[in-house]
Structure 1
Amino acid sequence: MSASSRITCVRTLRVPERANLCWVEIETAEGLTGLGEAFRGAAAVEGQIHDLVAPYLLGKDARDIERHHRFLMTPYVGFGASSAEMRAASAVDIALWDLAGQRLGVPVHEALGGLSRDRIRAYNTCAGYDYNSRPNRREVAGAEDRAGPYDDQIAFMNAPDELAHSLLEEGFTAMKIWPFDIHAAESGGQLINLVDLNKGMEPFEKIRAAVGDRMEVMAELHSLWSLPAASRICNALAPIRPFWVEDPILKMDDTAALAELRRMAPGVPICASETLGGKVAFRDLLVAGATDIVMVDLTWCGGLTEARKIAAMAEAWARPVAPHDCTGPVTLVASLHFALHAATAIFQEVVRATLATWYRDLVTVLPRVERGYCLPMQGPGLGTALQPDTRKRATIRESRA
């Protein structure tokens, strides 16, 4: 082991106004600091980091990413799905890759093996400014006033045609919306009646009428529906020709139900799933023929190391990959490095509302999005760090060797 690359400190940082986020910093004896991010259940991840992860990492060589990844991805409990153990392992893995890039003096995408493309197409997830960033997620509502020009969550319910034109003007040619969500609660997602089905279809129909085929539209179902209800929605969407229907059923590890849905709604591509953790879950998905597009969230699936393995499996099954981000700025940066490297990546998800506001308040550098495409990050490692003011406002906890 090189003394200079020895891990000397594992640190977590949290800010009260973004309660779902927890950042992880890993320091080495050489004076480098790697940055990772966890999302959802931040307190649980913080506890996992300091109680179980830090005692293992401290004193170890930060260069041994694969060794540490295997250890952290195979805990005695919590190894399935996107558990606190998995989210902690993901954040640590991203931080270790940040360190690797800094040590080599190259961007993470180069440390991973280089670019597969010089830019990648972005789609705008039509969320609002605070969507998913606070303990209670803001839901869509039909009569709510917009909080600003990029409050796309309200716009897709109230003025989807105007929203589509606005996105096209900025160069976006793909967007994602979820107007069916508000109709799931009454039946617990077990059924959707024709009245609600038609209401959910209205935004899609208005977008098609307004901009025609110039805009690809993705339908997000947020794992809210039973198989029959999801089938009814997918078949209703078929004439709109959605680019994909995402996370349509109640639990996305139910590969049998997903495969059946693909048979019940032929011609409607299924995208799955940001909610899965670890390569085994994705292997099962692919073996069952249960998805058309593989979506990974780097902070839930196991970080960059696991995402590479999932992407390789997807490539073997001739499936494209699309990294998720509706979470935090470090996730977006790490996902972009991955999307530019992975051979079969087709999109990078962005939320223009958060890119224009609180993402930039938290980190020093964000990806450049030009005319609907994300460009590579520059500089060594991830190419970003926490803003000094973020650090000043954060609750910090450290474990040291």
Structure 2
Amino acid sequence: MKITEIKTAEATGHGFSTFVKILTDEGVTGVGECIHGGDGCSRLIENMAEMIKGENPLDVDRLWELIRRRYIFNGALAGNVVTAMTGIEIALWDLAGKALNVPVYRLLGGKFRDKIRLYCDCHAGRDELPESYAKRAKEIVAMGFDAIKFDIDDAKSPYKLDAFNWSITPGELQQMVDRVSAVREAVGPNVDLAIDMHGRYDIFAAVRVAQALEPFNLMWLEEPVPPENIDAMREVKRSTKTPICTGENLYTRWGFKDLIEKQAVDVIMPDLPKCCGLSEGRKIANLAEMYYIPMAPHNVCGPLGTIASSHCCASVPNFLVLEWHWVDRPHWHELVLADPPLIEDGYITLPDGPGLGVELNEEAVAKYARSDRPLF
């Protein structure tokens, strides 16, 4: 079997996703999804396609490494080059599973679990009042989720004095505490609650927030400081009982190596359709497992990328929970052909069909496609 062509399409969602379709001389195809690759992602994939045409698509890891090495001086350490490679890699796994008539998780070594637990990213309340956050939390728990996440960084806060300074005022801190307190009171002690700060604060501010939130028994506090300074993140972790989480903006196992070895966080969250793909995601998880650190992947993809991440999550022992970010986008379920609903009571049941186990709905992709981009 040989790769004959690789095509792309882009559809709106959380920003937009890039879909990758790989065709072969035997008629077997594979489809993947990657995200946050920017406007140049499709062009990068077109260039990478020329490197692997004529190759055997079952050599997934070899082809990923072939592309990575050829781009080593052109951005292969991080950023949209890795994201483009990721879209190809996920499509290759889908194709390999179909060719061998097995689900992707079987090719990754089998599964530790049949269902993948999700947490719902609730974003924020409908307005900035604590009561609005509490109402939103109750709505999401009523949908069946027992793990939720809220954003508390607020660039428009009336208590913020300087748009560029990363410190925090007493008013901002109290506003954050009031919102988290309202959510915890609304959902009770048995719902896991994560809080995101989007890496917008300095060490002093992060420590103050993390310590102030200790009474609320968080699942984690996400990116309280920018992720590129691992030592700074470790300082925050060491200062508090609140678990600290980061990883959505790190790429490949090399990007996670120091973070894990320095034990700078309590939870890692690689974004698998953005930062590495499924095989590399397993390697990151296995490295974290050596330090007893759980993996809770970041995920803002549509259903195809989410299912791809689920196969990886099923294949590692230290999986904690997977993000679902589309609660306000009703077309999520339209984008694949599968027996609905994919999500029931806050879980995805892992598909057992060949490849990823779901097929991209190209009519829906066309419906939500970026108007200035070709569709496959």
Provide the rounded CA distance (Å) in 1 between the counterparts of 2:204 and 2:109.
43
Shift of residue 36, structure 1, vs aligned partner: 1.2
Tell me the residue number matched to 2:186: 210
Q: What SS class does the counterpart of residue 9 from structure 1 fall into?
A: strand
- Looking at structure 2, the residues matched to 342 and 253 of structure 1 have their Cα atoms a distance apart, in angstroms, of 26
In structure 1, distance between residues paired with 2:230 and 2:260: 9
Q: Which residue of 1 aligns with 2:334?
A: 361
Distance 1:156 1:34 in 2: 46
Residue 230 of structure 1 deviates from its aligned partner by 1.4
Within 5 A, what are the aligned runs for 1:126-205? 126-127=122-123, 159-182=132-155, 183=157, 186-205=162-181
TM-superposed deviation, 1:309: 0.5
Residue 19 (structure 1) shift: 5.3
Aligned to 2:56: 61
- Describe the superposition over 1:141-166 as per-residue Cα deviations: whole angstroms up to 9, x where unpaired: xxxxxxxxxxx665986522222322
Q: How far, CA to CA, are the matches of 1:174 and 1:296 in structure 2?
A: 18
Q: Select which of 109, 126, 133 maps to 1:113.
A: 109
Q: TM-score, normalised by structure 1?
A: 0.85
- Structure 1 residue 43: deviation in Å? 2.2
Structure 1 SS opposite 2:30 = strand
SS of equivalent residue, structure 2 residue 33: strand
Of 9, 15, 19, the residue aligned with 1:13 is: 9
Structure-2 change in CA distance of 1:249 and 1:118 (3 Å): same
- Is residue 221–residue 244 contact of structure 2 (8 Å, CA) maintained in 1? yes
Residues 219-251 of structure 1 deviation map (CA, whole Å, 9 limit, x = unaligned) = 11112112222112111111112110112212x
Q: State the Cα deviation string for residues 325-383 of structure 1 (Å, max 9, x = none).
A: 123322211111111221110112113525x7121222223773222222112311112
Distance 2:57 2:285 in 1: 24
Instruction: Kindly indicate whether residue 91 of structure 2 is the aligned counterpart of residue 95 of structure 1.
Output: yes
Work out which of the residue numbers 30, 44, 51 in structure 2 matches 1:48.
44
Aligned to 2:283: 309
Structure-1 separation of matches of 2:51 and 2:16: 25
Which has the larger displacement, 296-305 or 325-334? 325-334
Per mean C-alpha deviation after superposition, the further-off stretch among 207-216 and 389-398 is 389-398
> Which has a greater percent of helix?
1
> How far off is 1:319 after superposition?
0.7
- TM-aligned CA distance change 1:55 to 1:388, over 3 Å: closer
Whole-angstrom CA distance in 1 between matches of 2:320 and 2:16: 28
Note if contact 1:161-1:210 (Cα within 8 Å) is conserved in structure 2.
Answer: yes
CA distance in 1, matches of 2:303, 2:82: 19
Name the TM-score, length of structure 2 as normaliser.
0.90
Q: Is the 8 A contact 2:37 2:83 kept in 1?
A: no
- The equivalent position to 2:119 in structure 1, one of 123, 132, 147, is 123
3-state SS of 2:39 partner: helix
How far apart in 2 are the matches of 1:156 and 1:68? 50
Q: How many residues are paired up?
A: 366
Secondary structure at the counterpart of residue 396 of structure 1: coil
1:381 corresponds to which residue?
A: 355
Q: For residues 353 and 259 of structure 1, what CA distance do their matches in structure 2 show?
A: 32
* Alignment RMSD: 2.2
Partners of 1:300 and 1:66 in 2: CA distance? 17
Runs of at least 5 residues in structure 1 that lack an aligned partner in the other structure: 128-139, 141-151
- Once the two structures are TM-superposed, the CA of residue 274 in structure 1 deviates from its matched residue by 1.1
Matches within 5 A, 1:262-273: 262-264=237-239, 266-273=240-247
Query: Aligned residue for 2:201?
Result: 225
Instruction: Give 1:97's aligned amino acid.
Output: W
Using the alignment, how far apart are the partners of 1:67 and 1:126 within structure 2? 39
Runs of 4+ residues deviating >6 angstroms: none
Match of 1:80 in 2: 77
Identity %, equivalent residues: 31
AA partner of residue 247 (structure 2): S
Amino acid at match of 2:86: S
Equivalent in the alignment of 1:396: 374
Contact preservation (8 Å) 2:37, 2:274: no
**Residue from 25, 28, 37 that aligns with 2:24:** 28
DSSP 3-state at the match of 1:196: helix
Identify if the C-alpha distance between structure 1 residues 343 and 397 changes in structure 2 by more than 3 Å, giving closer, same or farther. Answer: same
CA distance in 1, matches of 2:112, 2:129: 33
Contact between 1:24 and 1:37, CA under 8 Å: does it hold in 2?
Answer: yes
Match for residue 294 of structure 2? 320
